[in-house]
Amino acid sequence: MTGPPRVRRRACRLWAFPLIIFLGCAAASAQQPADAGRAARPARPDAGEAEAHLNLGKSYLNEGRFAEAEASLRRYAEARPEAEDGVYLLAYALFRQGRARDSLAAYERAARVAPAAADDLKVIGLNFGLLGDYGRSAEYLGKALALDPENLEARYYLGRVHQTENRFNEAAREFRAVLARDPRHVKAQNNLGQALEGQNDVDGAIAAYRRAIALEGPSELPWLNLGALLLQRDEVGEALALLGRAVALNPSSALARFQLGKAYLRAGQLEAAERELRAATEIDPRDRGARYQLGRLYHRLGKTELARRELEISEGLRAGPKQ
């Protein structure tokens, strides 16, 4: 996960924030117009009060209180429009609230004050990713790496963008580059497995997933991905153990419950399969695959009415909403 970009204040640079996300930077745009509807604008804070707003905004960012950080940083940016740290941090606070368009607009204003640093460009790229513009996301992540080739977060997310676009060769290249610098990067190792799977390198994918599991990260994803892949190869026993561990790590994962339900089905453990498939549909009622498998299971169990209901829902989800 990404933390806030460095602050380019001349007196000091801010690196105090932990790495705290995903999933989410500078062009140029006109300064925001004044609000013509107001009878009067409040007086700008003096220098001491402005610095207090900046420091408070930093503190709120560090605590993950992004809406409050936004409010404080807006006050600082209003008082010190020429100061790059306020508007760049404001853009980051907006990004952390999932407000990608607002964040990009703030980065555009910030670029009028000072050029974006590598970490700012990285977050701009993540903003474009949130908006589904993967071409521009890759462009700005590439710009971040041009400024700072050692920025592992930018390289990891560039690999994720390539993977989203099914550009598995490029994705694998970026994940390997991350792992060359940080062999314990669990996410890069797991995503390398997915990229190799996308290239139909099944043995390579299995090896990557096993390395990710050996790193003992908190995520269920390596366990889930390896279990699902082994289930495809009909290695049901190990798949059951892996998928059971994935569910234990994240009981709220509809995908993990679905895959575990399928593994129980393959093993002939129908009651356990029903439990997991039903859990998957409760977590994600729009999981068409889980509903279809549950409907087939109900048919095998002689629960005709339940089977009909689940299969009808599955078919409705496949067809999509009526126009």
DSSP-assigned letters across all residues of 124-158:
HHHHHHHTT-HHHHHHHHHHHHHH-TT-HHHHHHH
The arithmetic mean of pLDDT across residues 177-200, rounded, is 98
pLDDT at 17 over 60: no
End-to-end CA distance of the chain: 39
Residue 319's pLDDT is 77
pLDDT above 90 as % of the chain: 80
Helices marked H in the chain: 47-62, 66-79, 84-96, 100-113, 118-130, 134-147, 152-164, 168-181, 186-198, 202-214, 221-232, 236-249, 254-267, 270-283, 288-300, 304-319
Closest by CA position to 157, among listed 184, 181, 128:
128
Phi, psi angle pair for 14, to nearest 5°: -95, 115
27-81 pLDDT, tens digit per residue, is 323 233 223 232 333 445 566 788 999 999 999 999 999 999 999 999 999 999 8
Q: What is the largest CA-CA distance in the chain?
A: 76
Closest by CA position to 190, among listed 173, 202, 208:
208
153-166 pLDDT, tens digit per residue, is 999 999 999 999 99
Compute how many other C-beta atoms are within 10 angstroms of the C-beta atom of residue 193. Answer: 28
Compute how many other C-beta atoms are within 10 angstroms of the C-beta atom of residue 6. Answer: 17
252-310 pLDDT, tens digit per residue, is 999 999 999 999 999 999 999 999 999 999 999 999 999 999 999 999 999 999 999 99
Cα separation, 293 vs 201, whole angstroms: 28
Cα separation, 237 vs 165, whole angstroms: 33
pLDDT at 322 over 70: no
Cα separation, 293 vs 265, whole angstroms: 9
Cα separation, 63 vs 17, whole angstroms: 9
Of 7 and 33, the structure prediction assigns the larger pLDDT to 7
Domains of the chain by start residue, with CATH: 1-27+47-147 (1.25.40.10)
Please state which of the ranges 14-18, 178-182, 211-215, 282-286 shows the lowest mean pLDDT.
14-18
CA distances from 211 to 155, 167, 170, 215, 219 (A): 20, 22, 20, 7, 13
Closest by CA position to 290, among listed 308, 277, 309:
277
Phi, psi angle pair for 299, to nearest 5°: -60, -45
Residue 12 zone, left/alpha/beta (φ > 0; ψ -120 to 50; rest): beta
Strand partners, 7: 14
Residue 189's pLDDT is 98
Residue 30's pLDDT is 27
Identify whether the C-beta of residue 93 lies closer than 8 Å to the C-beta of residue 76.
no
Please state which of the ranges 136-140, 183-187, 318-322 shows the lowest mean pLDDT.
318-322
106-137 pLDDT, tens digit per residue, is 999 999 999 999 999 999 999 999 999 999 99
Q: Tell me the one-letter amino acid at 80.
A: R
Residue 43's pLDDT is 45
Concatenating the DSSP letter of every residue in 21-80 gives ---------PPPPP-TT-S-PPPPP-HHHHHHHHHHHHHHHHTT-HHHHHHHHHHHHHH-
Q: Which residues lie below 8 Å from residue 87, measured CB to CB, with a gap of 6+?
A: 73, 77, 81, 106, 109, 110, 113
The arithmetic mean of pLDDT across residues 176-192, rounded, is 98
pLDDT interval class at 5 (50, 70, 90): low
Cα separation, 4 vs 176, whole angstroms: 25
Residue 85's pLDDT is 87
Strand partners, 113: none
